[in-house]
Structure 1
Amino acid sequence: MARGALHCLDAACNKTRALPKAEHIVVVGAGPAGLAVSLGLHRKGVRSVVLESSPALRASGYAITTWRNAFRALDALGVGDKIRKLHLHIQGLRVFSSSTGEIAHELDFTAQENGGPHETCRVRRDLLLRAMEEELPPGTIRYSSKIVAIDHDVGSHTKVLHLADGSTLRAKVLIGCDGVNSVVARWLGLAKPSYSGRLATRGLARYPDGGHGFQPEFLQFIGQGFRFGFVPCDESDVYWFYTWCPSQNDKGVDESAATMKQYVLNSLRSSKVPAEAQEVVERSEVSDASAARLRFRSPLSLVFASISKGNVCVAGDALHPMTPDLGQGGCSALEDGVVLARLLGEAVLAEEDGMEKERLEWALCKYARLRRWRSIRLVGTAYMVGFVQQSGNPIVSFLRENVLAGVLARSLLRMADYDCGTL
């Protein structure tokens, strides 16, 4: 039966057939945001179910920059030390001009500032997700569970979730952490993410024999129409990225990983990026190179957007997809998870009788108020930082390398100096 016909049948029969028992809280997506919400609720003694469309934990995506705000969230969730033990602690940032090779700005992350150093690591995404998954009760994550439609059951004030396998699930609270192409965000009516006009390719270079020898610092090269950087994850793995604005001459460069890798190398060789930095790309496996459009949700659209509606809300990339220029996508997703788990946990555990629906909706409404302006600032700042850093315009390049380099670098630390609080 066609999905549209099934929806009509479901709606017509809601009053006559028995729906499945309602789960209290259903989280869609087992990424950083979804697992953070579920783990935070678990720490507070509240059960949740996580629906993941893939058959196993999706650990692809290379690495996530975890700044001070991310570690505060991870500490609140009780997994901060697990992550710290597995990764190098980045000591600083050096920004170079890709046209001259000269240093445009340096930052020392170890400096005591605003209560302590700027704790920063480049965390492998698979290790981050597994660290949180291991802390959840068995069976919390239901794999191969893809949502295709959402209905409202008026009688019980629950959401009826239609899954791709034909089954249904009811939720008293529905939290969409299902990424840029979020089904839940579409149901809420959030604006479709926009293409930034830029592409990004990323990779992981492995140095199994004797290690890579790089200092624990973040090196970045900006200008000439691209932004390239790399940072060690541990003693043997180095993460790198390359973002650029494609031209008419770039058609087909992303058709295969091998072509994409060669395109990046040709671009770096025609600039002042040093040979040891180029070697990071050369050492990457061909399958490690990928390209993706960088998308973001317009900050203006978030001003009046329905981040929550009744017993439904969104978090992570489903709420605030952004360009990667601040390294805050994963960090802010963890913030969302802690804030949402705290508010929902308090609402579920409150002792007032007969007001559960109102408490839960109030918690989601408060979450939306707290996260709206934080999301707007992050998305807007990331877009502007990327535009200025990557621009090949002569005027912008002059201002960037002589005036704005320090401002842009310090914006990374300003956005990271945020505390989402405890559970």
Structure 2
Amino acid sequence: MQQDESTAEHIVVVGAGPAGLAVSLGLHRKGVGSVVLESSPALRASGYAITTWRNAFRALDALGVGDKIRKLHLHIQGLRVFSSSTGEITHELDFTSQENGGPHETCRVRRDLLLRAMEEELPPGTIRYSSKIVSIQEDVGSAAKLLHLADGSVLRAKVLIGCDGVNSVVARWLGLAKPSYSGRLATRGLARYHPDSGHDFAPRFLQFIGQGFRFGFVPCDETDVYWFYTWCPSQNDGEGVDQSATKMKQHVLSKLRSSKVPAEAVEVVERSDMSDASAAPLRFRSPLSLLFADISKGNVCVAGDALHPMTPDLGQGGCSELEDGVVLARCLGEAVLRESEADTETERIEAALRKYAGMRRWRSVSLVGTAYAAGFVQQSDNAVVSFLREKVLAGVLARSLLKMADYDCGTL
């Protein structure tokens, strides 16, 4: 491929999710431009809502959009964990208490509002929609990468940042291990209550654990309540549960009604429109593989789910994406802006990406590993594990949420 057959771009970010937009916005705040390639025709709001813990708000504040998000969502005051078998409270955590290191700033943020808040701060034209990468090629004679898009066009990137999710093309090019299936499925929904009456739920995160599933819900604002349900599939689930939204809803309601989940919690699922809901396999990248993986190679790196896909048991997936964005923008922005006679821009960029990889490697390993372990304990049907979970481990797991959220990615 000849250079004149491609369009040259300096920094190309693949994927307009939380990680990709955080990287691009962080670079913009530092005065460095970028192009974001998004395969869909518009911002994708799938996933409904993202838990934003203290670490996420620190990242959002660094990006200059923290207050935008705060104004749109309820602030969660605590966590209450119930046994699905007995209906009894196994642990309660007050996010406002100083005894727990509080107050802990926590919201359940609608994904579409989060992405829109960041998009609005970017220069027009930064995001190029309907731009799907199909392959990556070395540009002979330079360090640039040739990005072949589905429409036949080619972009020449001096820096390539993959924020393209669990099925990342960029991660595959780097040689990262394929994400593993956790053996669990998840479905999610959003219950909308009438604006005039709203819902009666306190700003508290409620979870029901045991009997082979994990169910939880939390209000986003006065009218929207986000919920999730994760489980280990079996032959008793019924045919087509993981492919039909109607059967999926019936399956969730059947499980909840046969347990000690209260009627008002069941109603959250009943009033949800699940026309676009489906069962998604929960996947993660092995923590062991991340210890030795090439997070960056030359002028290419990955961030977000392209780097550290994890199960949702800590609620840190979206938070860690925002962390990645701030750290990467800081490292890369400084390298691009710093003039030096000792090394070239290419050398500075490659060193910056290595620095970013070094800073995010152990954080990624600890988050993925802890999330997987928490999910195993929370959904296990083993009698011993169930006993320990309700008597001891529920508190340990709850405190691990706060421990992982007490992290500061720094400023730009």
Q: Is 1:284 the counterpart of 2:284 in the alignment? A: no
TM-score normalized with structure 1 length: 0.95
Counterparts of 1:51 and 1:391, CA distance in 2: 40
1:98-141 Cα shifts (integer Å, max 9, x gaps): 00000000001112368751100000000000000000000000
Alignment of 1:309-324 (within 5 A): 309-324=297-312
Q: CA deviation at 1:21?
A: 4.8
Corresponding residue for residue 232 of structure 2? 245
AA at the equivalent of 2:362 = W
Q: Is 1:149 the counterpart of 2:138 in the alignment? A: no
4+ residue runs of structure 1 moved beyond 6 angstroms? none
1:247-279 Cα shifts (integer Å, max 9, x gaps): 122242122111100100110011100111000
Report the aligned-residue RMSD: 1.2
Corresponding residue for residue 58 of structure 1? 44
Counterparts of 1:269 and 1:289, CA distance in 2: 20
AA at the equivalent of 2:208 = F
- Aligned in 2, Cα 1:114/1:341: closer, same or farther, shift over 3 Å? farther
Corresponding residue for residue 211 of structure 2? 224
Q: Is 1:407 the counterpart of 2:396 in the alignment? A: yes
1:138-193 Cα shifts (integer Å, max 9, x gaps): 00001111000101113121011001111100111100000000000000000000
Report if the CA contact (8 A) 2:7-2:154 is conserved: no
Alignment equivalent of 1:382, drawn from 365, 371, 380: 371
SS at match of 1:36: helix
AA at the equivalent of 1:86 = L
Counterparts of 1:165 and 1:130, CA distance in 2: 26
Corresponding residue for residue 190 of structure 1? 176
Alignment equivalent of 2:116, drawn from 100, 120, 130: 130
Counterparts of 1:289 and 1:366, CA distance in 2: 39
SS at match of 2:279: strand
Alignment equivalent of 1:333, drawn from 321, 342, 346: 321
- Aligned in 2, Cα 1:115/1:29: closer, same or farther, shift over 3 Å? same
Q: CA deviation at 1:22?
A: 2.7
Q: CA deviation at 1:48?
A: 0.3
Counterparts of 2:274 and 2:43, CA distance in 1: 23
Report if the CA contact (8 A) 1:150-1:162 is conserved: yes
Report if the CA contact (8 A) 1:22-1:158 is conserved: no
AA at the equivalent of 1:276 = E
Alignment equivalent of 1:391, drawn from 372, 380, 390: 380
AA at the equivalent of 1:277 = A
Q: Is 1:212 the counterpart of 2:199 in the alignment? A: yes
Counterparts of 1:226 and 1:115, CA distance in 2: 30
Q: Structure 1: where are the runs of 5+ without partners?
A: 1-9
Corresponding residue for residue 176 of structure 1? 162
Counterparts of 1:348 and 1:382, CA distance in 2: 35
SS at match of 1:231: strand
Corresponding residue for residue 6 of structure 1? none
Aligned residues: 409
AA at the equivalent of 1:52 = E
AA at the equivalent of 2:358 = R
Alignment equivalent of 2:74, drawn from 81, 88, 93: 88
Q: Is 1:365 the counterpart of 2:351 in the alignment? A: no
SS at match of 1:130: helix
Counterparts of 1:192 and 1:21, CA distance in 2: 31
Counterparts of 1:352 and 1:140, CA distance in 2: 28
Corresponding residue for residue 60 of structure 2? 74
SS at match of 1:286: coil
Identity across matched positions, percent: 86
Counterparts of 1:351 and 1:114, CA distance in 2: 45
Corresponding residue for residue 3 of structure 1? none
Q: CA deviation at 1:392?
A: 1.2
Counterparts of 1:341 and 1:61, CA distance in 2: 25
Report if the CA contact (8 A) 1:48-1:140 is conserved: yes
Q: CA deviation at 1:307?
A: 0.4
1:27-53 Cα shifts (integer Å, max 9, x gaps): 000000000000000000000000001
- Aligned in 2, Cα 1:157/1:289: closer, same or farther, shift over 3 Å? closer
Report if the CA contact (8 A) 2:190-2:272 is conserved: yes
Q: CA deviation at 1:234?
A: 0.3
SS at match of 2:4: coil
Q: Structure 2: where are the runs of 5+ without partners?
A: none
Q: Is 1:163 the counterpart of 2:152 in the alignment? A: no
Q: CA deviation at 1:213?
A: 0.8
Report if the CA contact (8 A) 2:8-2:156 is conserved: yes
Corresponding residue for residue 26 of structure 1? 12
Q: CA deviation at 1:352?
A: 1.0
1:255-308 Cα shifts (integer Å, max 9, x gaps): 211110010011001110011100000010131532100000010110100000
Q: CA deviation at 1:24?
A: 1.3
